[in-house]
Structure 1
Amino acid sequence: MTGTIENMIVKLTGWLSRHSIDVLRVSLGLVFVAFGTLKYFPGVSPAEALSVATLEKLSLGTVSGYAAQFVIASMEVFIGLTLVTGKLLKTGLVVMTGAMAGFFAPYVLFFTDLFPGAPTLEAQYIFKDIVLAAAAMVIGARALGARLIPAYERQAPVHEIRERVAA
């Protein structure tokens, strides 16, 4: 019985190491596409006013109003599509790096508005971007060549691993 459970764990670990980062990449992409798409429609995104105000400040007033919202929406949808498809992934990750700076900028630019005491809904909305940034780091590491290797592959000689997986 123990051998069967160990074999199942080895197979599951192998599957997870091969596929989990791709699942993370696609799911993060879907989040970006969904939130970006909302921003194409005025009044639909709960973060619209804050995102427009942030881009207005960051661009020193050169991009404002619906133009700012359109830029943000397009950027987020582009990032999402690169993540979902895997095409232009490194370009999408570079754009995401810039976007992340913009995502967290309201904490600096509008701190007192976001935290008048307890955090506002907008502050909480931005807080979730910490998880998105961490996921982007994992995806970026994979895109740059890092690999997730199960512990059993690092500890056992290759012939033993093949025997475990084949069993």
Structure 2
Amino acid sequence: MTTVAIAAQRRLTDLLARHSIDILRVSLGLVFLGFGALKFFPGASPAEALVARTIDALSFGLVTGTNAVLLCAVAECFIGITLITGRLLKTGLVVLAASLVGIMSPLLLFFTDLFPGTPTIEGQYVAKDIVLAAAGLVVAARALGARLVPPPTRATV
């Protein structure tokens, strides 16, 4: 590798180390805000019935139907706003952690309904949430003080 290529790679690596997790945080926030906002409009979210069914099961019937969907909408919008702005981030991440229990629980509660052979659209919706959970872990690690460590330079290897 040429000296110019090595210098360019280092600059790119430094740029990614400085900004990639913030970009991930804002992107994750936009996803949560977008999907949360849809739930305020009956029939707009493809996950509406699954959300109502899941929260009904998790709350042992205490929170059902429209109230379950509105609760989810408020939580997701709050998570999205905290991720986008960076304000109240740790609080938003706690809400995200609690929400991930609900988001992932259909895999246990309704697995055969979601994956009756090939995945249903709801099954695909829940499966993609695994990536959102992983992204949330990265953002949480940064919020709690973790930092990317630049690779060692050739002289220190």
Which residue number in structure 1 is paired with residue 54 of structure 2? Answer: 54
Structure 2 counterpart of 1:3: 3
Structure 2 runs not aligned, ≥5 long: none
Structure 1 residues 150-161: aligned runs within 5 Å: 150-152=150-152
TM value normalised by structure 2 = 0.95
- In the TM superposition, what are the counterparts of 1:4-153 in structure 2 within 5 Å? 4-152=4-152
Q: Deviations over 1:90-110 (max 9, x none)?
A: 111111111111011111111
The structural deviation recorded for 1:156 is 5.0
Counterpart amino acid of residue 65 in structure 2: G
Percent of aligned pairs sharing the same letter? 58
Distance 2:2 2:113 in 1: 57
Q: Tell me the distance in 1 between the aligned counterparts of 2:71 and 2:52.
A: 10
SS in 2 for 1:151: coil
Distance 2:106 2:137 in 1: 21
Q: Alpha-carbon deviations, 1:5-32, whole Å to 9, x = none?
A: 1111111111110100000000000000
Offset, 1:117: 2.0
- Counterparts of 1:24 and 1:81, CA distance in 2: 14
Cα distance between partner residues in 1 of 2:129 and 2:42 = 22
Conserved 8 A contact 1:21-1:139: yes
Normalising by structure 1, we get a TM-score of 0.89
Query: Larger C-alpha radius of gyration, 1 or 2?
Result: 1
Measured in 1, the distance between the counterparts of 2:109 and 2:26 equals 31
Off by >2 Å, runs of 4+ in structure 1: none
Q: 1:10–1:152: 8 Å Cα contact kept in structure 2?
A: no
RMSD (CA atoms): 1.4
For this pair of structures, how many residues does the alignment match? 156
State the secondary structure of the residue aligned to 1:118.
coil
Query: Which SS does the other structure have where 1:87 is aligned?
Result: coil
Secondary structure in structure 1 of the residue aligned to 2:23: helix
What is the one-letter code of the residue matched to 2:94?
A: V
1:160 match: none
Structure 1 segments unaligned to the other structure (5+ residues):
158-167
Q: Distance in 2 between matches of 1:45 and 1:147?
A: 36
Secondary structure of the structure 1 residue equivalent to 2:105: helix
Q: Which moved more, 1:111-120 or 1:20-29?
A: 111-120
